[in-house]
Chains A and B, each alone.
Chain A
């Protein structure tokens, strides 16, 4: 115990003396949450649009006002002919054009039908798709309010969409779990790997191996400070997501934290395993970044949906621990489900923990060559 305490005290000195690294470790999750929350969002707002109003009647005016009032569109360009549409798109001034036919109000009033054309710049298909959806939704909403209040049309089919769990389609629901996985992996795997390899590089590892310290104790003592740092990071990410991004924790908070600690332990053992296989800090860093970080971003489902990947890729994604953790966080945090719904993921993560830790301890060389 005495040995263990001395060792952990030393590890804390290392971490606390290196202010820059400490700042990065604790500041990174905060910065990532803020960047993902406010800069890198796939929500499309304040798009420039154009209107070609061939009707110029009261109803068309109202519709245009309605579109202008939404947060998704702003800065209407008035167009006067079809040719103007192409010009406006070519100039890059607009993302979508709304064409209102002549006799708009009359048609609606008498025939109960009118067609509004939505022309979008599909050079960016995602944005085009989103904008067309927004515009359609606004138009539907408009006709509902304007006409269906007092008139009951006998045949009217309304397609109603409902977005489950995330009615506002906030991007934050997707990336908060992703950022948690990324940060924990980076802090635990990379830092643990580097800190052990550093001792190999400076030669202090030899001294430790000559001393009566048990190898297991060295490994555990190295990991403990990073486990604590990670718990601080988990808490700060959760606080930020709840209070700044307004993504609530729907499920049990303790279950969420417990699962996060499990994932942290998996990451730590991966770090230990990497350190056993590398002899320089650079190698350790490269293996952590390329071997861990990239697969996490690609295969956890946080950037690219795993369901859309070809089968072999989907199979590969199963060996990425972050994929399982990401599912767990999404289930507990966003959907609010209990342990029953995530026992399978928990089991996989636990199995990974024992596998990696076992490998790491086995490979940790008591005797150097």
Chain B
């Protein structure tokens, strides 16, 4: 394993009984890279991501996250990663500040750090006035941006985003991706799953999963050339048509 890889996976496999959700996938993600993880519903991308986050134990294969082994150094990995799930993951009955304080607290950040960073973060999101508003009252787009900011609040090495822009309007999506670029510029590795193929174009490299296997992995421009498609849509459709399973 080379130290400049944020994530490595070698023949990573997850089986649920007879069903192989993730079938021997191998890839490396470099530090600071924005790595897009594409696939149709049921292709196994969420399962793969959950193994890397320590939410699920692999059935076979090896993987390292932030240089630590997913089997043995789970607790150390947890301190180095941030995670934003498909489901909205802030507490609706807590205010914006209380949510930030809670997540800062469970990552063991000091009160001073939390206080300073909260001020900076609210200013950055232009949410200064909403600091004491219940999260429930915020529009969805703001909630998502806030959830992302909270996921990287403790300054992780790697952030995992599971379909972060679901149900968000195009303008907010654009803003959301600006935030991803800012995080990446700070050296945070971004591992993102998405359904939106225009978003795939924003990634440094993209992998496309079909039926639990990685069928293609390269930069968006190289993939378009390889599949002689005009856009990522074309690449994706060519691969996704090969899929045999529909739900998983």
Contacts and interface: CB of A to CB of B under 8 A. Distances in A.
A92 interface: no
Contact of A210 (B53, B57, B90, B91): B53
Interface residues of A, number: 25
A367 B103 CA distance: 19
B78 to A, nearest CB: 4
A10 B54 contact: no
Given A206-B83, A206-B85, A209-B55, A18 B93 contact: yes
A206 B108 contact: no
Contacts of A211: 78, 103, 106-107
A3 B106 contact: yes
A368 B87 contact: no
Interface string A201-235: 01110111111110000000000000000000000
A209 B90 CA distance: 14
B101 interface: yes
A4 B119 CA distance: 23
Nearest to A202: B87
A238 B78 CA distance: 46
A213 B90 CA distance: 16
Nearest to B87: A203
A330 to B, nearest CB: 40
B115 to A, nearest CB: 13
Contacts of B92: 202
A139 B170 CA distance: 91
B98 interface: yes
Contact count band on B = 20 to 34
A367 B56 contact: yes
A209 B75 CA distance: 10
Contacts of B78: 210-212
A207 B105 CA distance: 13
B98 A210 contact: no
B89 A212 contact: no
A6 B102 CA distance: 5
Contacts of B57: 367
Contact of A206 (B81, B87, B98, B103): B87
Contacts of A18: 93
B79 interface: yes
Contacts of B93: 13-14, 17-18
A205 B117 CA distance: 24
B91 A203 contact: no
Closest 10 pairs between A and B when the two form their complex, measured CB to CB:
A6-B105, A203-B87, A210-B83, A212-B78, A17-B93, A10-B102, A207-B89, A212-B79, A206-B85, A210-B53
12 contacts: A3-B105, A6-B104, A9-B105, A13-B93, A14-B94, A203-B89, A206-B85, A208-B106, A210-B55, A211-B107, A213-B106, A367-B55
